[in-house]
Amino acid sequence: MSVNQREIANMDKNLDAIQEHIEQSEKAEDQVLSFVLGNEEYGVDILRVQEIKGWEKTTAIPNTPDYVMGVINLRGSVVPIVDLRVRFGLEDQTYNDSTVVIIVRSEDSTGNQKIIGLVVDGVSDVYSLNESQLQPSPEMSGTVHTEYVNGLATVADKMVIVLHVDQLINDGILASIKKALNIE
């Protein structure tokens, strides 16, 4: 075998390896932590979840929107706690043993990390989803704005509404809090 033929054979092997890597990347699945609000199941990218805590009393902050329950001290950091049930306009529910706070990280447009707690009725499961399983949400007027929805996925005969954490926190929750507090 000549030098050129060996180089071509090596290039073909490299191309095959690269193609295989691309195909595996396309098949790569993202994991979604699902949780329950009312009768619906929602999900967030598990890489955005910092921790899951049981419900604890918060310190109220005056002049904030009604869905901001207050703040908690999380290992020296002040973390705002938002009740997603109230934020999405769902009926009130009393907090019980299954009520949890999902502490999530978000990144704003300048790259700054924000940490916020989301009060939900309960954590459900972790699902592995690939991009092809996510369907765009239909344009509808409702309590959950479609810009906060990353997509809808059918998993085990149920529909999971996968939320876009950055949009929900930065454009939805934090923008409303800043407006209520007259902060620019």
Partners of 86 in beta bridges:
none
Among 16-25, 27-36, 54-63, 66-75, whose mean pLDDT is lowest? Answer: 16-25
Summarised one tens digit per residue, pLDDT across range 88-114 is 888 877 888 888 999 999 887 777 888
Name which of 151, 144, 153 is nearest 172 in CA terms. Answer: 144
- Of residues 59, 87, 55, 57, the one with CA closest to residue 71: 59
pLDDT of 129 above 60 = yes
For each of the domains in the chain, give its residue range(s) and CATH number, in order of start: 29-180 (2.40.50.180)
Assess whether pLDDT exceeds 90 at residue 118. yes
Task: Supply the pLDDT for residue 50.
Answer: 93
Q: Is residue 85's pLDDT more than 50?
A: yes
- Give the model's pLDDT for residue 72: 93
* Distance between CA atoms of residues 184 and 182, nearest Å: 7
pLDDT digits (tens, 9 = 90+) for 7-53: 555 555 655 665 565 555 445 578 999 999 988 899 999 999 999 99
Say if residues 137 and 152 touch (Cβ distance below 8 Å).
yes
Nearest by Cα to 78 from 177, 180, 152, 162: 177
